[in-house]
Amino acid sequence: MPTPRLAAGAHGRDIPPTAGLPLRWSDLLPGGPADLETSLAAWLGVDALQLECSGTSSLVVSLLTLARRSSRKTVVLPAYTCPLVALAVHHCGLRLKLCDLAPGHFDLDPDALEAACDGDTLAIVVTHLAGRVADTDAALRCAARCGAAVIEDAAQALGARRNGRSVGLDGDIGFFSLAAGKGLSIYEGGLLLARDPALRDELRATSARTVGRRPGWEARRSLELLAYALLYGPRGMRLAYGNPQRAALRAGDPVRAAGDDFPLDIPIHRVGRWRRGVGARAARRLPAFLDDARARARRRLERLQGLPGVRVMQDTAGGDGVWPFFMLLLPDAQSRRLALDRLWGAGLGVGPLFVHTLPDYDYLRPIVADAPVPHARDFAARTLSITNSRWLDDERFEVICASLAASLPSP
Ligand SMILES: *Cc1c(COP(=O)(O)O)cnc(C)c1O
C-alpha cells in the first residue's frame, strides 16, 4: 500500500518547483532595453555572451562549431542529466557516449571518464546540476590528454561562481538556460560564453550561418512568455503546472509528470526584440534575487542536513553556486520512493529532478544505447529536489521536512 499523498495542491496552490525570477507587468512593455547580453556579461564579469533560443540550441551551436574544427565525432555526457542534452548531440549527427557518475555524487566519475575518452572524443560535457558548482578538474585533465574540448552545461547555474569567476570559463565553452523556471527566463533562451576570443568568433559565425529567423516560433514563444508572466505564482502554477502534473501521476506517467518528455525535434531560431527587452528589464533584479535565494538556502540547509542519512548536495571546493532548488540524496531507493509518494504532486515543489538516467527513457532508446552506469542509476533512484522558491513558507517547508523524516529508515 503506498502512503497516501498529501492533500494535492492544498489551498489551491502549487509552489513552483524552482526559484524562478517572477516577471512584472512593467517588464512586458514594448521598447525594453536592448542590452540583455551585455548587461548580464558585465554582471558576470565575462567578456561577452551570445544569445540563442534555448540552452539546447546553445549546445547545438557549440557542437557544430567544434565539429567544424575537427573530424572527431563522439561527445561524452553524464549518464544522468537533462534528456535535451542527448537530443542536442543527436541533432548534430554526433555519437554520444555516456559516462557514469562518481558514487553518490552528480560529478563525472574520474575513472569512468578516463575510460570513455579516446582519439574520437570531440567534447566532454560537465554539468553544474541544480546550481551546484561541479568539479571540472577531471574533465579538464582528460580533455587535455586526449585533445577534446570541455563544455560546461550551466543551464541551471546562471550566476554560479568558482574561485571568484563565473562558471563556464574553466572549459572551452559554457552555456546557461533562460527557460521557464530556470532563474531568469524569457520562456526559452540560452546564453553561450567562451574564454577564447577566436572561439567566440567561431560560435557567432556558426550561429549566423545556421540559425534563421522563424517568426512562427518567435510568436509562439512570445505568447508563452506572456502566459508565464501571468501564471508564474502559486495560484497560476496550480492550473498550468500542478494539475497537469497530478494528471500525469494518476496516469502512471512519471516521465511526463517530471516534464522529462521532450519532443525529438529541437526548434532553432533567433530570439526577437521584444523578448530580449523583457529579459533585459528582469535581469536588473537578478543579482538581488539570487542573493535572497542564497540566504534562504543557507537558513534551510541546516534543517535538511539534520535529517538522518540525508545528504544535501554542495558545491565543489572554491564554488559558490546558485540555489534554484535543493538536490538531496536519500539513504536508499525505498525512502526516496516513500518520500515521492507523499510529496510529489502535493503542490510543495518536491519532485525527482530527472526521473531516469539517459538510457532508461523509453523514448530516447533510438538515440541512447544502454550502458553500464550503476552509480548514475543509483543516484537517479535516490535523489530528490525541493524548491527554493520564496513562496515556500516556513510552515510548508516544515511539512516537507517532517514527510522526509517519516520516509527514512528507522534508526
Ligand atoms: C534545462 C537544461 C538544459 C537545456 O536547456 P533549455 O534551455 O531548456 O533548452 C540542458 N542541461 C540541463 C542540465 C538542463 O537542466
Q: What's the burial of 12, exposed, middle or buried (CB within 10 Å: 0-12/13-18/19+)?
A: exposed
What grid cell was written down for 192?
553561450
pLDDT, residue 10, reads 53
CA distance 177 to 257: 21
Residue 154, SS3 per DSSP = coil
CB atoms within 10 A of CB 141: 15
Contact 122, 94 (CB under 8 A): yes
Cα 410 to averaged position of ligand 1 atoms, centre (Å): 37
Ligand 1 atom, smallest distance to 179 CA: 7
Contact 278, 27 (CB under 8 A): yes
Does an H or E element contain 373, and which? none
Q: What's the burial of 272, exposed, middle or buried (CB within 10 Å: 0-12/13-18/19+)?
A: middle
pLDDT by residue for the chain (411 residues), tens digit each? Answer: 344 556 554 567 999 999 999 999 999 999 999 999 999 999 999 999 999 999 999 999 999 999 999 999 999 999 999 999 999 999 999 999 999 999 999 999 999 999 999 999 999 999 999 999 999 999 999 999 999 999 999 999 999 999 999 999 999 999 999 999 899 999 999 999 999 999 999 999 999 999 999 999 999 999 999 999 999 999 999 999 999 999 999 999 999 999 999 999 999 999 999 999 999 999 999 999 999 999 999 999 999 999 999 999 999 999 999 999 999 999 999 999 999 999 999 999 999 999 999 999 999 999 999 999 999 999 999 999 999 999 999 999 999 999 999 999 987
Cα 409 to averaged position of ligand 1 atoms, centre (Å): 34
Whether this prediction's pTM lies above 0.95 is answered by yes
Ligand 1 atom, smallest distance to 182 CA: 1
Strand pairing report for 311-312 and 325-329 = antiparallel
What are the DSSP calls for 31-75, one per residue? S--S-HHHHHHHHHT-S--EEES-HHHHHHHHHHHHHHH-S--EE
CA distance 313 to 305: 10
pLDDT, residue 275, reads 98
Cα 385 to averaged position of ligand 1 atoms, centre (Å): 16
Strand pairing report for 173-177 and 311-312 = unpaired
Q: Which residue in 50, 328, 46 sits closest to 178, CA to CA? A: 50
Report CA Rg, the chain: 20
CA distance 370 to 373: 9
Domains and CATH numbers, the chain: 25-210 (3.40.640.10)
Cα 4 to averaged position of ligand 1 atoms, centre (Å): 32
pLDDT, residue 12, reads 79
CA distance 346 to 6: 6
Ligand 1 atom, smallest distance to 57 CA: 9
CA distance 78 to 101: 7
Is the C-alpha dihedral spanning 145, 151, 153, 157 positive or negative? Answer: positive
Give strand pairing partners of 78.
99
Among 57, 59, 63, 82, say which to mutate for ligand 1: greatest number of ligand atoms within 8 Å of CB: 82
Contact 13, 240 (CB under 8 A): no
Residue 268, SS3 per DSSP = coil
State if residue 55 touches ligand 1 by the CB under 6 angstroms criterion: yes
pLDDT, residue 8, reads 52
